[in-house]
Chains A and B, each alone.
Chain A
Amino acid sequence: MRFFLSASCFLATIAVSAVALAIETPLPMDQAFRMEAGRDGSDIAIRWQLEDGYYLYREYLSVTGVGGKPLEMATPPGVIKEDPGYGSTEVYYGTATATVAGPVTGSLNVTYQGCQDGGLCYPPTTVEIDAATLEPKSDTGKSGLQTALQSQAAFPLVSKAPKAADSSSIRISDQSTNGVVGSLLDRGGVLFLIVGFLGLGVLLAFTPCVFPMYPILAATLTREGESLSTGRGFALSSTYVLALAAAFSLFGVVAAWWGQSFQIALQSTTATLLVAAIFVALALSSFGLFELQLPSFLRNRVAAHRGGSLMSSAALGFSSALVIGPCVTAPLAGALLYIAQTGDVVLGATALFALGVGKGIPLILMGTFGSGLLPRAGQWMERVRQVFGFLFVATAVWLVDRLLPAGAGLLLWSVLAITFAVFIGAFDQMRPEAGGAARLAKSAGMLAGLYGVILGIGGLSGATDPLKPLATIAAARSGDATPARVIGKDSFQSIASAADLSSLLKADGPAAPTLVYFTADWCVTCRVIERSVLPDATVADALDGVRLVSVDLSEITEANQSLMKELQVVGPPTMLFLDRDNQEVQDTRLVGEITADTVTVSASSAKGQLR
């Protein structure tokens, strides 16, 4: 035997046992069951000659015609094979027949399965028979094996089990540790994970959600006045960023720990109003109405004035996390799911902290190197402070906007723009000898005033989008002459619960892939998607034939929250792609920054198209 062991291929060293079997060596299937087809009038009769000691199952006999359509077939009753403790089955010994009602055209596929009594069970075999000649097609001898392979390739199950668990019979793909956290950990351990999240954070620093941070930090720095140096700028901005990152990871952990609803709680009216109030206070202080400081009893304990402003910078950073907190991004979602699934709070929190610091790195750079550029004193500085004051108010308006009835937000923006115009001197008289800067300021003010007027008109006419204040008027004029297919928020059918989703998926006739889009009014990234991704022509092409369903999370209800939980959605914006069998297609889920390219790629794999 040793001689054979040295052979390079393992298979070649394998011997087929001839003796050790308890029973006869099983025959090849085509010898154990010899099949032939004959004609009986217009019917086709299929007969099997069975070797002694072999049987065929009655219930596994089947005949299909062209296109896999089952054909009507008659089989005689078989013998009930009782095996004490092993149940009863109906089988044929000796001969078996199946009669297919004619006339049959084209070809038919006959499938059968049997066993060697007491020894071995064969996989099902399918033989294709030409209905005209009744001869088996030449290459069908091995088809039994092929059939088995196909049935295995199509694994129906994975799915079957969750049926009991969820009502919508939608299967979501693996969202687990294969996610961003798990894969980073696998590749290089904890350090790699932290560096990875830092890097992801830097990439996310230039997304709309983080933009409000820049003016907020700049405004904080200007409040320092003359004492602002590069080192001071570094200290203040790092404090701000560290507090922001700490809050970010804290909220993340609590969110994952308490179920994902906590994160939504940050969007509650109370939280929103509170944060808006903080920004209004900051604004008033920037206008010089009062000096914003910590209460005096606290201030005395914090060594000096400098420590005090570090503290307020930290407090500001902490509350700023509330502004970017609800912006769901892929790494955030990954980290939250990781915490929820593994319970590893420390690692999840570390990842989130790194993500927050990463988002803040450009802020620190700006705070450190930009500090030199800001004016130190004089009238100019007053102006700059006022401009930043307006930015604070703008943040507050942006926060409150979502709580107001449609149109009211636009009116607020209008008031803000006009007031800004007044403050910057748009309506002051300008002397002929005024310099370039003053003239630029005046034109900026005039533009702001004009914009404010347009916003006011738009708001009164029911528009809601500050960037399209005249949309309603334009739409009224152009009637309903809609151009080619353009996908907007209206193209989606809105649903509110898991029950809605499942009835929608069931109701629609022909099977189609589905896109489920989670969005919300307060989700900045979602607005970007609705404004510039969905209307893209390539996206319209890619989503052609895809059922569009949206879940509006502007108001959190128990129903949409449980839907989120069921589909393991952390927050908006998230896009899920289901195939025709309502199974989520692996690697197609989009979270956070979504582009026309990613939508196109995911949609085509949901449609089963090759890329």
Chain B
Amino acid sequence: MITRRNLLAAAAGTAAFAAILPRMAFSQEITEKSVFYDPDAPVLGNPKGDVTVVEFFDYQCPYCKKIHPMVEKVVREDGNVRLVLKDWPVFGGASIFAAQAVLGAAQIGKYEPAMEALMKTTGKLTEEEVEKALTSTGLTMQEIAAAVNKHSAKISGLLDRNYSQALAFNFAGTPSFVIGRTTFAGVLDEKGLKGAIAEARAA
């Protein structure tokens, strides 16, 4: 499926890659495996799906939270999509706190409830509000803290990789997506997301 548009877009992507080369010096190698199949990143949707949707997001980014139910709905209805939410905390301390806490919860098998609870919060968050959202799911901060402390190297490593990848893709902010061989900066609507999945599947 080599269309003119695809070729142009790919050329633009290649140019973008060349432009960010100097910045890549500090980042680790970005491979298909590290973006789609990071072993430490939790996977939602169908883990065996043929298309992977990667979303870079922040728990304080209003648009990330706004489109989240739609993203989940599309993934669920498709049934053959892996969804990987990559924390890219751009809103400071509370975002980092939230990201670490949810990834800690993931280590004790509570990723989805913790993530969903934070996705349901409104706008800006304080650490207290993050704690409130997490404890509303029945988790205690003690067990989350224990999990985060126990796996701190793993969690920090994942967040660092997410960060390097977001930079390597030259993303301007959150949300941003990698679907198949295409990147999308900013929100997608339902039609756009479905189209991107279909295109990735066809490629």
Contacts and interface: CB of A to CB of B under 8 A. Distances in A.
Contacts of A172: 149
A124 B142 CA distance: 31
> Which of A16, A83, A165 has most B Cβ within 10 Å?
A16
Interface in A1-40: 1-5, 9-23, 25-29
B97 interface: yes
B133 interface: no
Interface in A128-155: 142, 145, 148-149, 151-153, 155
Contacts of B12: 15-16, 18
- Is the interface on chain B under 10, 10 to 19, 20 to 34, or 35 or more residues? 35 or more
Contacts of B181: 1, 4-5, 13-15
A90 to B, nearest CB: 10
A161 interface: yes
B124 interface: yes
B123 A161 contact: no
Interface stretch (B38-46, B61-69, B73-81, B109-117): B61-69
B186 A25 contact: yes
Contacts of B160: 152-153
Contacts of A165: 141-142, 145
A174 interface: yes
Contacts of B65: 86
Interface in A91-131: 113, 115-116, 118-124
A586 to B, nearest CB: 8
Contacts of A60: 92
A22 B189 contact: yes
A434 interface: no
A148 B189 CA distance: 28
A162 B188 contact: no
A149 B156 CA distance: 12
A157 B141 CA distance: 12
A115 B63 contact: yes
A426 B173 CA distance: 89
A15 B9 contact: yes
A29 B172 CA distance: 7
B81 to A, nearest CB: 16
Interface in B88-135: 89-93, 96-97, 100-101, 104, 122-124, 127, 131
B201 interface: no
Contacts of A21: 184-188, 192
A593 to B, nearest CB: 26
A121 B173 contact: yes
Contacts of B184: 17, 20-21
Nearest to A27: B172
A17 B31 CA distance: 19
Given A15-B9, A26-B172, A120 B63 contact: yes
Contacts of A2: 2, 203
Interface in B46-63: 58, 61-63
A461 interface: no
A165 B156 CA distance: 22
Identify whether the interface residues of B are mostly helix, strand, loop, or mixed: helix
Given A13-B181, A15-B12, A157 B100 contact: yes
B90 A124 contact: yes
A13 B10 contact: yes
Contacts of A16: 9, 12-13, 16, 182-183, 185
Contacts of B127: 160
A59 B17 CA distance: 34
A385 interface: no
A467 interface: no
B84 interface: no
Contact of B10 (A15, A22, A26): A15
Given A20-B196, A120-B175, A158 B187 contact: no
Contacts of B35: 10
A151 B14 contact: no
A178 to B, nearest CB: 8
B101 A157 contact: yes
A122 B186 CA distance: 10
Contact of A120 (B14, B150, B167, B174): B174
A156 interface: yes
A85 interface: yes
Given A10-B31, A119-B187, A162 B172 contact: no
A168 to B, nearest CB: 14
Nearest to A59: B124
A89 interface: yes
Contacts of A5: 181, 203
Given A3-B2, A16-B16, A118 B97 contact: no
Contacts of B173: 26, 29, 115-116, 120-123
Given A14-B182, A21-B186, A151-B96, 9 more contacts: A5-B203, A16-B183, A19-B5, A21-B185, A85-B122, A113-B90, A124-B92, A149-B163, A174-B153
10 contacts: A12-B17, A16-B9, A17-B184, A22-B189, A23-B187, A29-B172, A120-B175, A121-B61, A157-B101, A161-B141
Interface of A: 1-5, 9-23, 25-29, 59-60, 83, 85-89, 113, 115-116, 118-124, 142, 145, 148-149, 151-153, 155-158, 160-162, 164-165, 171-174, 176-177
Interface of B: 1-2, 5-6, 8-10, 12-14, 16-17, 23, 30-32, 35, 58, 61-66, 89-93, 96-97, 100-101, 104, 122-124, 127, 131, 141-142, 144-146, 148-150, 152-153, 156, 159-160, 163, 167-169, 172-176, 178, 181-189, 191-192, 195-196, 199, 203
Interface pairs A-B: 7 shortest CB-CB:
A87-B123, A161-B145, A87-B122, A22-B189, A123-B90, A120-B186, A119-B186
